[in-house]
Chain A
Protein backbone atom coordinates (compact mmCIF):
# COMPACT_ATOMS: atom_id res chain seq x y z
CA UNK A 1 0.00 0.00 0.00
CA UNK A 2 1.17 3.53 -0.79
CA UNK A 3 -0.80 4.87 2.19
CA UNK A 4 -1.66 8.57 1.95
CA UNK A 5 -0.08 10.42 -0.97
CA UNK A 6 -0.01 14.15 -1.63
CA UNK A 7 1.00 16.19 -4.65
CA UNK A 8 2.75 18.47 -5.23
CA UNK A 9 5.46 18.39 -2.54
CA UNK A 10 6.28 22.08 -3.02
CA UNK A 11 4.41 24.95 -4.64
CA UNK A 12 4.94 28.70 -5.00
CA UNK A 13 1.94 30.85 -5.93
CA UNK A 14 1.33 34.52 -6.47
CA UNK A 15 -1.43 36.28 -4.56
CA UNK A 16 -4.76 35.70 -6.27
CA UNK A 17 -3.79 32.51 -8.09
CA UNK A 18 -5.78 29.35 -7.61
CA UNK A 19 -4.60 25.79 -7.25
CA UNK A 20 -5.61 22.33 -6.05
CA UNK A 21 -3.66 20.24 -3.59
CA UNK A 22 -4.17 16.56 -4.31
CA UNK A 23 -4.62 13.84 -1.70
CA UNK A 24 -5.24 10.15 -2.26
CA UNK A 25 -5.33 7.07 -0.04
CA UNK A 26 -5.46 3.39 -0.95
CA UNK A 27 -6.54 2.00 2.43
CA UNK A 28 -10.30 2.30 1.79
CA UNK A 29 -10.63 4.71 4.72
CA UNK A 30 -13.95 6.45 5.12
CA UNK A 31 -12.65 9.52 6.96
CA UNK A 32 -10.27 12.02 5.37
CA UNK A 33 -9.16 15.44 6.53
CA UNK A 34 -6.92 18.38 5.74
CA UNK A 35 -4.72 20.18 8.27
CA UNK A 36 -2.37 23.10 8.03
CA UNK A 37 0.76 23.41 10.15
CA UNK A 38 2.17 26.82 11.02
CA UNK A 39 5.08 27.66 13.33
CA UNK A 40 3.87 28.20 16.89
CA UNK A 41 0.29 27.22 15.99
CA UNK A 42 0.43 23.47 15.74
CA UNK A 43 -1.77 21.57 13.29
CA UNK A 44 -5.24 22.97 12.67
CA UNK A 45 -8.13 21.28 10.90
CA UNK A 46 -9.31 22.90 7.66
CA UNK A 47 -11.97 20.52 6.28
CA UNK A 48 -12.91 16.91 6.74
CA UNK A 49 -15.02 14.24 5.06
CA UNK A 50 -16.76 11.19 6.51
CA UNK A 51 -17.40 9.58 3.13
CA UNK A 52 -17.92 10.20 -0.56
CA UNK A 53 -20.20 13.19 -1.07
CA UNK A 54 -20.01 14.35 2.57
CA UNK A 55 -17.73 17.16 3.71
CA UNK A 56 -17.72 19.65 6.56
CA UNK A 57 -15.70 22.59 7.88
CA UNK A 58 -13.02 22.40 10.50
CA UNK A 59 -11.40 25.12 12.59
CA UNK A 60 -9.91 27.25 9.75
CA UNK A 61 -11.99 26.70 6.56
CA UNK A 62 -11.99 30.21 5.09
CA UNK A 63 -10.35 30.45 1.67
CA UNK A 64 -10.49 26.69 1.03
CA UNK A 65 -12.95 24.40 -0.74
CA UNK A 66 -13.12 20.62 -0.76
CA UNK A 67 -15.14 17.91 -2.43
CA UNK A 68 -15.13 14.12 -2.18
CA UNK A 69 -16.42 12.31 -5.20
CA UNK A 70 -14.65 9.01 -4.43
CA UNK A 71 -13.48 7.22 -1.29
CA UNK A 72 -9.86 7.50 -2.43
CA UNK A 73 -9.48 11.20 -3.26
CA UNK A 74 -9.93 14.38 -1.25
CA UNK A 75 -8.58 17.47 -3.05
CA UNK A 76 -8.19 20.86 -1.37
CA UNK A 77 -8.79 23.94 -3.51
CA UNK A 78 -7.44 27.43 -2.90
CA UNK A 79 -9.66 29.74 -4.93
CA UNK A 80 -7.65 32.96 -4.57
CA UNK A 81 -4.38 32.44 -2.73
CA UNK A 82 -3.32 34.89 -0.02
CA UNK A 83 0.03 35.23 1.81
CA UNK A 84 -1.75 34.07 5.00
CA UNK A 85 -2.18 30.68 3.33
CA UNK A 86 1.58 30.10 3.26
CA UNK A 87 1.86 26.92 5.28
CA UNK A 88 2.51 23.20 5.21
CA UNK A 89 -0.61 21.22 4.34
CA UNK A 90 -1.19 17.66 5.51
CA UNK A 91 -3.86 15.24 4.41
CA UNK A 92 -4.90 12.40 6.72
CA UNK A 93 -7.19 9.42 6.64
CA UNK A 94 -8.55 6.84 9.06
CA UNK A 95 -11.13 4.07 9.18
CA UNK A 96 -14.59 4.91 10.45
CA UNK A 97 -14.72 2.10 12.99
CA UNK A 98 -13.94 2.90 16.59
CA UNK A 99 -11.07 0.80 17.89
CA UNK A 100 -9.37 0.86 14.48
CA UNK A 101 -9.29 4.64 14.20
CA UNK A 102 -5.57 5.30 13.88
CA UNK A 103 -4.92 8.34 11.70
CA UNK A 104 -2.38 8.17 8.89
CA UNK A 105 -0.81 11.27 7.39
CA UNK A 106 0.62 12.10 4.00
CA UNK A 107 4.09 13.66 3.52
CA UNK A 108 2.73 17.20 3.20
CA UNK A 109 2.68 20.01 0.64
CA UNK A 110 4.78 23.08 1.37
CA UNK A 111 3.01 26.10 -0.08
CA UNK A 112 4.40 29.63 -0.36
CA UNK A 113 2.15 32.49 -1.47
CA UNK A 114 4.01 35.62 -2.55
Chain B
Protein backbone atom coordinates (compact mmCIF):
# COMPACT_ATOMS: atom_id res chain seq x y z
CA UNK B 1 0.00 0.00 0.00
CA UNK B 2 1.19 3.47 -0.80
CA UNK B 3 1.98 5.27 2.43
CA UNK B 4 2.45 8.84 3.58
CA UNK B 5 5.05 10.55 5.74
CA UNK B 6 4.21 13.59 7.85
CA UNK B 7 6.02 15.47 10.61
CA UNK B 8 4.83 14.42 14.05
CA UNK B 9 4.06 17.95 15.19
CA UNK B 10 4.02 21.58 14.10
CA UNK B 11 3.30 24.91 15.72
CA UNK B 12 1.77 28.03 14.30
CA UNK B 13 0.87 31.43 15.61
CA UNK B 14 -2.77 32.37 15.51
CA UNK B 15 -3.87 34.19 12.35
CA UNK B 16 -0.76 33.17 10.44
CA UNK B 17 -0.71 30.73 7.51
CA UNK B 18 0.21 27.11 8.14
CA UNK B 19 1.78 24.77 5.62
CA UNK B 20 1.44 21.10 6.54
CA UNK B 21 3.64 18.85 4.37
CA UNK B 22 3.07 15.27 3.31
CA UNK B 23 5.36 12.96 1.36
CA UNK B 24 3.92 10.11 -0.66
CA UNK B 25 6.70 9.00 -2.97
CA UNK B 26 5.05 5.65 -3.82
CA UNK B 27 1.73 7.16 -4.88
CA UNK B 28 0.06 5.41 -7.81
CA UNK B 29 -1.70 7.04 -10.70
CA UNK B 30 -5.17 6.30 -9.34
CA UNK B 31 -4.53 7.42 -5.76
CA UNK B 32 -6.40 10.48 -4.54
CA UNK B 33 -4.76 12.60 -1.84
CA UNK B 34 -7.12 13.23 1.06
CA UNK B 35 -6.67 15.32 4.16
CA UNK B 36 -8.68 14.78 7.31
CA UNK B 37 -8.32 16.34 10.70
CA UNK B 38 -9.23 15.11 14.14
CA UNK B 39 -10.05 17.51 16.90
CA UNK B 40 -9.59 16.31 20.47
CA UNK B 41 -12.11 13.66 21.51
CA UNK B 42 -13.84 13.69 18.13
CA UNK B 43 -13.92 11.52 15.04
CA UNK B 44 -11.93 12.70 12.02
CA UNK B 45 -13.51 15.18 9.64
CA UNK B 46 -12.87 15.69 5.96
CA UNK B 47 -10.81 18.73 5.00
CA UNK B 48 -9.97 18.49 1.30
CA UNK B 49 -8.90 16.10 -1.43
CA UNK B 50 -7.30 16.23 -4.86
CA UNK B 51 -5.78 14.17 -7.61
CA UNK B 52 -3.42 16.26 -9.71
CA UNK B 53 -4.45 19.91 -9.64
CA UNK B 54 -4.33 22.26 -6.69
CA UNK B 55 -7.64 22.53 -4.87
CA UNK B 56 -9.28 25.22 -2.78
CA UNK B 57 -12.29 25.08 -0.50
CA UNK B 58 -13.62 27.12 2.37
CA UNK B 59 -11.47 25.25 4.88
CA UNK B 60 -8.10 25.04 3.19
CA UNK B 61 -6.04 24.76 0.04
CA UNK B 62 -4.20 21.70 -1.23
CA UNK B 63 -1.04 22.15 -3.24
CA UNK B 64 0.07 19.02 -5.10
CA UNK B 65 3.58 18.69 -6.49
CA UNK B 66 3.86 18.18 -10.21
CA UNK B 67 5.23 14.66 -9.75
CA UNK B 68 2.52 14.01 -7.10
CA UNK B 69 5.09 12.65 -4.69
CA UNK B 70 4.29 15.29 -2.12
CA UNK B 71 1.53 17.67 -1.18
CA UNK B 72 0.95 20.53 1.22
CA UNK B 73 -2.19 21.43 3.12
CA UNK B 74 -2.44 25.18 3.56
CA UNK B 75 -4.51 26.82 6.27
CA UNK B 76 -4.56 30.47 5.29
CA UNK B 77 -5.14 31.91 8.76
CA UNK B 78 -4.77 29.54 11.66
CA UNK B 79 -7.29 29.85 14.47
CA UNK B 80 -7.34 28.16 17.84
CA UNK B 81 -10.10 25.90 16.50
CA UNK B 82 -7.65 24.53 13.92
CA UNK B 83 -5.59 22.82 16.62
CA UNK B 84 -5.94 19.16 15.69
CA UNK B 85 -4.16 16.15 14.25
CA UNK B 86 -4.03 16.39 10.47
CA UNK B 87 -3.90 13.18 8.45
CA UNK B 88 -2.70 12.92 4.88
CA UNK B 89 -4.21 9.81 3.29
CA UNK B 90 -4.00 8.13 -0.09
CA UNK B 91 -7.17 6.51 -1.36
CA UNK B 92 -7.39 4.34 -4.45
CA UNK B 93 -9.71 6.02 -6.92
CA UNK B 94 -10.03 2.80 -8.85
CA UNK B 95 -12.64 1.52 -6.44
CA UNK B 96 -10.52 -0.26 -3.86
CA UNK B 97 -10.39 0.62 -0.23
CA UNK B 98 -6.69 0.22 0.49
CA UNK B 99 -5.38 3.17 2.44
CA UNK B 100 -3.05 4.17 5.28
CA UNK B 101 -4.01 6.74 7.88
CA UNK B 102 -0.67 7.12 9.60
CA UNK B 103 -0.12 9.05 12.82
CA UNK B 104 -0.61 12.47 11.28
CA UNK B 105 0.72 15.89 12.27
CA UNK B 106 -0.37 17.37 15.57
CA UNK B 107 -0.87 21.10 14.99
CA UNK B 108 -0.59 23.46 17.93
CA UNK B 109 -1.89 27.00 17.44
CA UNK B 110 -0.33 29.57 19.71
CA UNK B 111 -2.51 32.54 20.70
* A, B in one complex: no
